[in-house]
Structures are given as C-alpha cells and as structure tokens.
Amino acid sequence: MSETSTDRESSPSPNLAPRIRDRTVEPGRLLTLRTSVEDIVSWRGSFVANPDPAAGDPLRQKLTVSLLDKGTEQRDRFELARVLEDCGAKLDLSSDGLFVEVSGRALADDLPRVMDVMAEMLRTPAFDPEEFEKACAQVAADVQRRMEKTSARASTALSQQLFPEGHPNHRPSPESVLQRLQRLTIEDIRDYHDTHFGATEWTLAVVGDLDHETVASVVDGAFQGWSPHDAPEVYDTEAAPTESGRRVVPMPDKSNVDVRLGHALPLRRDHDDYTALYVGNYILGGNFAARLMSVVRDEMGLTYSIRSSLSGVTTRYTGSWQTKITLSHDALDQGIAATRDVIRRFVEEGATEDELDAKKTTITGSYTVGLATTRRLAQSILTNAERGFDLSYLDRFPEEIRSLSLDEVNTAVRRYLDPDAIQEALAGTAPEPVEA
C-alpha cells in the first residue's frame, strides 16, 4: 500500500481534501475520510466497464448487475441476504453508464464481513439461469412501463436526434431494447461479466467512524488479486445532431404532451467554461425560482413544471443542454413558443446581478448540504475521482462558484446556448405525428 496524501484529522480546517487519506490498495485506489459520526461507515465504489452502446452493451450490463446479488459461486442468494441482515447492513450495486457502481452502509465492526460479500458478488457471481429469466422479465416490465410514459419517450427521441448510436447519451427505442432482450442468453451475461468486469479504474471511497489502516487492510483482503479487464473504449465521444428540427412520438389518449428542447454542447465537464455555463443555465431553468419557471409557469400559467439542465456532460464525452416542459394539448404551441422566447431573450440580454447572487447562494448552499451525511460524502468523493479531478476540487468548487462574474456567466451563455440550433422532441397526443 502506498499513501499519496497525509492525514490531518486533527486540523481545525473545515476543508475536506486535507482530511482524506488517498492511497493505492491493490487492486485500485482507496479514499478514506474519518468523520464525527459514531459506529457507522458508508462507502461508494466503481470501476469502468466500457460498454459498447452501439452493440447493446448497456442492456447486458444492466442484466449482469441485477444478477450479482442473486447468488455467488460460494453462497446462494439467501445466504448473502442473511449476512447483510445479520449485520443490519445495506448494499447496492448499479449500472451507471460506463461504470458499475457499488454502495453501502454498515456498522464499523461489520465492515470486513460486508466487504467480503461485496467482493464475492462482483468477482464470482453464480448467474443462475432461473434468476436470469426473472431478471429478463423484470427488465421487460420496466421497459413496457417506460413505453407508456410521455416523459421517457420524449427524452429518448431527443437523445436520438442529438447523439449517434455509439454515444453513451443515445437512448435506444424501447422496441429495440425488447428485441435485444429476447435474443439474450445466460451465456451472453456470463461473457459480458468475463469481458467487462474487473478492477479497471477501481476506486472506493469510505467515510465515517473508521480507522484508515484498518479499512485499508479490510479492502486489501477482500479484493486482493482482482485483475483489470481488457475491454477497450469503443464508445463515441462527440454528438452528431440530425437535421430534423422536430420529432413527434405519437401516443394517443394522453392528457398531456411532454416536450424536450435542446442541442448538443461542445464542452466537457473539465472545460474552463463549464462552471460559468452551469450557473448560467441554473439561472435560466435550474429551480423553481429560475427564469423559465417564473415566466412560463408563474406569469403565463402554461405549465406546472419546466426545467433546463446540462445533461450527460462528463469528462469523457460531450452532452447536451435541454429544457423539459409538460404542456396540455391546448397550450402546446403557445407553451413551446413562450419557452423559446424566454430562452432567446435570456441569451441575448443575459442574467442580472441579482439573479447571479441568488443562484450563487443556492448552489453553494445545496453543495454544503450535500456533504452533510456519510453517504453523500462518499458519493461526492467518488464522483470527483471518476472525473479525474484532484481532491482539492471538493473544496474549490464553492469558491469557484462564488468568484464568477456576471460577464463570465453571460459570455458562457452566449457562447454555448444557441436558440437557433434547438431541436424539439414531443411525446403524446400531438399534431403532425412522425414515426420515432
């Protein structure tokens, strides 16, 4: 084990970075933070699986992850559940784009037992055929439910307008997902695990009532010998917008129409302009006090909900800027026109100093609240590591927000938000239906 930063728990500094122990513990990176909470530890970990979106790997990855807690080569699902129940521990495994993530919470004294179970699930799942059939049925049911949701269909349609099939932000149609699902076998899942699961960029953040050396020893014992996988990065990293300005997914007899407006963004999460653009968008549509909500909902009464966001922007690939709005049939055209008008005026005129000051307070306050529990601390530390940022960014982010000038924010908005490049995706009972 090699340590890459010193531990200063006794320091009166409120900063996180100096208190985080950062080291290499085979087979990956371990980040530990001791807090004042008693007896409890929380953790969050991940490795890069490198699924190929164009080949349908996200579906295979989702199914693989769903089977990890259904039995291993050493213990069946009931024995695994019994260990966690006896400890009163919580353990979750999830598929998150390019990553497979694990998270949990347990008493500090039970950490060795729970870590052993977690490592067992990741490394030696049984992949029982009967459990596979159940998982497929569950996924099919989930897809069928999403097919009936106008919000899901509109989001899928916009993603297909902005990103190629090989991009992680591209969402395949639910019909194609069901077709792929019918062709999958348990051998496909075993093969995906063999090829894409391993300690590639394995990172684990552990927070709570802990001893750094003890945690390092526990993790080393549980994961020793876990090898990285060799699956290459085959996904597209850039957007490829279509020429179509509007796509409509016909869904008869729906009471509302879900609308998605947006366009691709040319910057990634580590770009110098990202923070200014993030704040600019937050002023436009980040919360209930934003421009879009104030005008389109509060003043004009055209919708109950309207938000805008920077969606799917990572340090590995580009994302998009999107506005989401739900409209009645009668208010559809007026609502879209009003939304576009607010966006255009915001880009042309910019934010005000009062708006910027208010959003700085909201964003930094939310960030601080988000670090108030061991679970959220572990998540923030892991996310920071996944992005490739140094630990000090955890402390720099609020100051980065507070130091932004109005000119920096408005310049970023004008540079990256283009009202003339907006694409539209609608789902519901809407005019001029076009097959999605």
- pLDDT tens, the chain, 436 aa long: 443 333 333 333 469 999 999 999 989 999 999 999 999 999 999 999 999 999 999 999 999 999 999 999 999 999 999 999 999 999 999 999 999 999 999 999 999 999 999 999 999 999 999 999 999 999 999 999 999 999 999 999 999 999 999 999 999 999 999 999 999 999 999 999 999 999 999 999 999 999 999 999 999 999 999 999 999 999 999 999 998 789 999 999 999 999 999 999 999 999 999 999 999 999 999 999 999 999 999 999 999 999 999 999 999 999 999 999 999 999 999 999 999 999 999 999 999 999 999 999 999 999 999 999 999 999 999 999 999 999 999 999 999 999 999 999 999 999 999 999 999 999 998 655 444 4
All structural domains of the chain with their residue ranges: 2-223, 246-428
Token duo for residue 106 = 């347990």
Q: Tell me if the pTM is above 0.85.
A: yes
| Residue partners of 8: CB distance under 8 A and separation at least 6 | 18, 19
Structural element, H or E, at residue 249 = strand 246-250
How far apart (Å, rounded) are the C-alpha atoms in residues 31 and 169? 29
Angle of CA points 430, 345, 238, to nearest 5°: 70
Question: Given the structure tokens 């770009």, which residue do they identify?
Answer: 271
**Number of helices followed by number of strands (H, E) in the chain:** 15, 12
Asked whether 375 and 42 are in contact (CB, 8 A), the reply is yes
The DSSP secondary structure of 181-227, one letter per residue, reads HHH--HHHHHHHHHHH-S-TT-EEEEEES--HHHHHHHHHHHHTTPP
What is the fold of 2-223?
A: Cytochrome Bc1 Complex; Chain A, domain 1 (3.30.830)
Query: Which residues fall within 8 angstroms of residue 62, CB to CB, at 6 or more apart?
Result: 95, 139
Q: Is 417 exposed, middle or buried (0-12, 13-18, 19+ CB in 10 A)?
A: buried
- Look at the block and give the residue holding tokens 């090989």: 166
- From edge to edge, which strands make up the β-sheet containing 40-48? 2-3, 20-25, 28-34, 203-208, 40-48, 99-107, 90-96
Q: Give the Cα separation of 391 and 353 in Å (integer).
A: 31
- The amino acid occupying position 352 is T
Query: Per the CATH hierarchy, to which homologous superfamily does domain 246-428 belong?
Result: Metalloenzyme, LuxS/M16 peptidase-like (3.30.830.10)
Token pair belonging to 175 = 């019909």
Helix (H) or strand (E) holding 435: none
> How many Å is the maximal CA-CA distance in the chain?
66
Kind and range of the H or E run holding 105: strand 99-107
Asked if domains 2-223 and 246-428 share a fold, the reply is yes
DSSP string, 50-64: ---GGGTHHHHHHHH
Intra-chain end-to-end CA distance of the chain, in Å: 53
